[in-house]
Amino acid sequence: MSLFAFQQQFPDEASCLSFLETQRWGEDSTNRYCPHCGSLKTYKFSDGKLFKCGDCRKKFTVKVGTMFSDSHIPLQKWFYAIYLNTSLKKGISSIQLAKYLDITQKTAWFMLQRIRYSVEKAGRGDLLGNIVEADETYVGGKKHDGRRGRGASGKTPVVGIAERKGEIRLAVTTDTTAPTLEKVITDNVTPGSTVMTDEYRPYNHVTRLGYDHHRVNHSSKEFAVGQNHTNTIEGAWSHLKLSLRAIYIGVSPKHLQKYCAEYEYRYNTRGLKDNERFDKWFGFVNGANLTYAELVDAGRLTLTPAIT
């Protein structure tokens, strides 16, 4: 979808409200439900913006219960932010977005974090299968001594699973021990699948988990032996780090999972057109009303040991 097409589809706030109603409740108003009690007995006021529940009697708008809740930013600007973030290959920085939307950088940062949180909170679909590749990488911190970053001070580990010609799963973790790596694999890979890894010792018992385990020995300059390789996930690491370096000044560990979720979504929808990727994102807006206080609270947003 071109910028011109986007502007034609959403010329005003009313068009955005109508689109959100359709995405959330469908074309038929009989599917409209109250976000407070879940009742389908709802009414629309003549202003076209406000609704009322016939059971709990509470009033609501289509934004209540979504990532747009309690936001004073017009939907038109929210939609433009989502459009830019889903159509640009590397995403967009808060500094750039602030200029496009004529808002402060702080507001732009908060909007982008809510957008990322919406897809992070949505979770994943089916388990990966067939032939998958598992690997880890490290983000942030200082350059290390060449030991692949494992155990490097100041770096945050990210574990990745890539299905060949399919999707990826990324999990920010606290370590790369065997229990952590095994949990990421079992949480995301169908039993009986073929799992490709390198020679890293914590992968030693993957076979016991019910998988057909194959390795490549990178320390011996072995990177591909027939179908045995981890090139897919390593390519994803390269693209992820390039995006982080090119767009963002720095990513703190407590927010890294959101950036990984954003990249994961972009990777997994690489076969979609821009308008399809934009529309699909609206399936994640329910319940993603993260507040600014929650976002900056380091005690609340902790690193997760594995994808759940």
* Domain spans of the chain, in order of start: 131-254
Q: Is 149 left (phi over 0), alpha (psi -120 to 50) or beta?
A: left
Residue 147 confidence (pLDDT): 52
Residue 306 confidence (pLDDT): 34
Most distant CA atoms of the chain, gap in Å: 72
Residue 308 confidence (pLDDT): 29
**pTM score, whole prediction:** 0.85
Three-class SS state of 225: strand
Residue 191 confidence (pLDDT): 96
Residue 220 confidence (pLDDT): 53
Residue 89 confidence (pLDDT): 87
Q: What CA–CA distance (Å, rounded) separates 112 from 284? A: 14
Low-confidence ranges of the chain (pLDDT < 70): 141-153, 218-226, 249-250, 298-308
Q: Which tokens is 14 given?
A: 């009313």
Residue 48 confidence (pLDDT): 84
- Are 303 and 254 contacting, i.e. CB atoms less than 8 angstroms apart? yes
Residue 151 confidence (pLDDT): 54
Residue 252 confidence (pLDDT): 81
Residue 116 confidence (pLDDT): 92
7: phi then psi, degrees, rounded to nearest 5? -65, -30
Residue 21 confidence (pLDDT): 94
Residue 305 confidence (pLDDT): 34
Residue 256 confidence (pLDDT): 92
Please tell us whether the domain made up of 131-254 is placed in CATH 3.30.420.10: yes
- Are 136 and 204 contacting, i.e. CB atoms less than 8 angstroms apart? no
